Amino acid sequence: MTEAGSDTRGWLFGSGVDLVLGCGVGSMALMLAQGIFGQDALAAVIPGALVILVFALPHYGATLIRVYEDPADRGKYRVFSVWATLAVASAFVASLSSSLFGSLLLTLYLTWSPWHYTGQNYGIALMLARRRGVAVTPVVKRVVYTSFAASFALTVFAIHSGQPEGSYAPVSYGGTVFELLPIGIPHAWVGPSIVVLGAVYLVTTALSAVWLVRSAGLRAAAPALVLMATQALWFSIPVPLRHWELAGPDSVFRHVYTPYGFLWIAGCHALQYLWITTYYAAQSETVATALKAESGAGAQVESRGRAWRRRVRFLGKAALMGYAIWIVPALLFAPGLLGRLPYESGLAVMVAAMVNLHHFVLDGAIWKLRDGRVARILLRSAPPVDSTGRPEALDAPTRVPWLRRGLQGLGALALAYGVLMFWVDDFGFASAMSRGDTVRAERALDRLALLGRDGPGRRTELGRRLARDGDPAAARGQLLRSVELAPTARGYQSLGLLHEQAREWQDAATAYDSALALAPDDVAILSRAGRAWLETGRIDRAVPLLERAVALAPNDNRIRWDLGRARREADVTSQAQKPER
């Protein structure tokens, strides 16, 4: 059902809004701006945290409203709203106790995520094509589907190759107890597979474009074609670029396909989701727009106002629910409450995996164009009519007011908590550290601990700053607190440096060994561990560590000098231990 007075030729909100938000033109513009001005310039205007807060989190809430707000929908999707939800929640709890299980969950999330994005692009492309009169035959539908599926397959091969780091998105989960566990497709197979899949993708994409345009003309097929271009920019293009390193140091793509750039892809996907769910929610709530459009211009103005209020109300509810689903689990399972894993050491990653997997499961169940109600709203550019020719009313959802208000209140509390945490972290700890005010920084950390967000990274940062400022006792306290919260290589390395400065070589060597257990190939830790053991007289421990460091960094003269010294002392010891004849 379309708003009175709007462009009704197959669009939801009108050509401009639909192309920018729904088809990806806005995403293309952001990519162009990032390529021209660079990541830093855009991030200074719109920080990554703001992208997540304003765009990403509310779109999860939109799914929750769609499934849980109406008792009829909760019953209809009971398998997903209850049992699948319990399964995902149980997996989340189990992941916090097992790094292996959590890593498997993370891998599932990262593999499924591109398919979720791809499926949304594919579904919206076909929806807009059908709304605009394009005849999508079963053959055309299969070819279009193959195009999008091949694009996704390219990404899967990149993620699960023998060298997955940077082969699709330059994102790392270092510093957490979880890691991506790729299938390990041999690297030699990845290149030929990309060539084959790329050929399938190019052929099916070209055929899809030709058949869609022939069916109803370029103007009618334009939204679907733009979505196919968006899919290419998000998934098809970055894979060969990164695999074969085709983008030079000054290339525009170097500034686009960065961690911040992929964050914006996620943000534009969320905007796309909010665009269509807002339309669906407003249209399914009332038919007042279509009914009042019959009475003249005054009714049209009133109808527009009501439609606007419905949309704003829906977006507000979606935002509150999105904040709740992200913040409440992280708060409940913070160290000191129901969990032991600090937020920055992996709890945040598992919350992201849990929320997204739950979102993927629900989303796949509720948005099916063969569903009568969904098709009735999304595939028609004019309201359905009854036997009298008047607009047919959609079933008004029944709701439980107290439950709705309770969930919205929980979302408001979650938002207040998130704002407070952001204030304490950014304007408390980060600001104090930038000024060198370690006293205020420590107070901010203590407040973050009360909020369930104490973490080893911030404690290590403060400890290193205290050591530089000449307060080794306070620095040691912060570093010990850091490794107590969660063992990290950087925390143990910093503790070793502190002992080294005090010439406490045995304690330094022990701390460095603990760091090596977490980062066995870190050259700096290997060399310092070897030097510390050398100072304690344990040549047998020093030589293997320094040999490993030299193998990893053969041009480092300091490490080679330490190794030579260790070998000379080993020879002297060996000669002294030889029996006299």
198 and 338 fall within a common domain: yes
Residue 542 in contact with residue 533, Cβ under 8 Å? yes
Q: Does 435 reside within a domain?
A: no
- Tell me if 510 is assigned to some domain: yes
Q: Do 58 and 190 fall within a single domain?
A: yes
Give the phi and the psi of residue 532 in degrees, each rounded to 5. Answer: -65, -45
Chain-wide mean pLDDT for the chain? 84
pLDDT value of position 414:
83
Half-sphere exposure of 86 (CA within 13 A, CB side): 4
Whether residue 252 sits in one domain with residue 105? yes
Residue 262 binned pLDDT confidence (cut-offs 50, 70, 90): confident
- Tell me, yes or no, whether 251 and 351 share the same domain: yes
Please report whether residue 54 resides in a domain.
Answer: yes
In percent, the amount of the chain with pLDDT more than 70 equals 86
Domain count, the chain: 2
> Where do the H-state alpha helices sit in 217-258?
218-231, 238-243, 252-256
pLDDT tens-digit readout, 488-541: 899 999 999 999 999 999 999 999 999 999 889 999 999 999 999 999 989 889
Q: Could you say which of 328, 360, 377 is where a domain stops? A: 377
CB 408 within 8 A of CB 68: no
Round to the nearest angstrom and report the end-to-end CA distance of the chain.
Answer: 104
* pLDDT for the residue 291: 42
pLDDT at 304 over 70: no
Helices (H), 423-556: 431-435, 438-450, 456-468, 472-485, 489-501, 505-518, 523-536, 539-552
Rounded CA-CA distance 68/65 in Å is: 5
For the stretch 23-64, pLDDT in tens is: 999 999 998 888 888 877 788 777 777 788 788 889 999 999
One domain, residues 221 and 83: yes
Q: What pLDDT was estimated at residue 510? A: 94
Kindly state whether residue 518 falls inside one of the protein's structural domains: yes
Q: What pLDDT digit, counting tens, does each position of 540-553 carry?
A: 899 999 999 999 99
Q: Would you give the distance in Å from CA 294 to the centre of its chain?
A: 46
Q: Following CA atoms 20, 25, 27, 33 in sequence, which dihedral angle do they give, to the nearest 10 degrees?
A: -110
Are 370 and 460 in a shared domain?
no
pLDDT score for 283? 80
Domain that holds residue 472: 455-576
Q: Report H helices in 132-185.
A: 138-159
Give the burial class of 513: count Cβ atoms within 10 A of its Cβ; 0-12 exposed, 13-18 middle, 19 or more buried: middle
pLDDT of residue 379: 76
In a domain, 509, yes or no: yes
Q: What number of CA atoms fall less than 13 Å from residue 481's CA on the CB side?
A: 20
Looking at the fold, whether 193 and 312 belong to one and the same domain comes out as: yes
HEC-encoded secondary structure of 77-91: CHHHHHHHHHHHHHH
Among 350, 377, 404, residue at a domain's last position: 377
Fill in the DSSP letter of residue 394: P
Q: Rounded to two decimals, what is the model's pTM?
A: 0.83
Tell which of 323, 358, 377 closes a domain.
Answer: 377
Task: Give the C-alpha distances (Å, rounded to integers) separating 188 from 108, 151, 162, 192.
Answer: 24, 20, 9, 8
Task: Tell me how far apart the alpha carbons of residues 238 and 246 are, in angstroms, rounded to a whole number.
Answer: 10
The residue whose two tokens read 């211009």 is 297
Q: Which residue has the higher pLDDT, 290 or 433?
A: 433
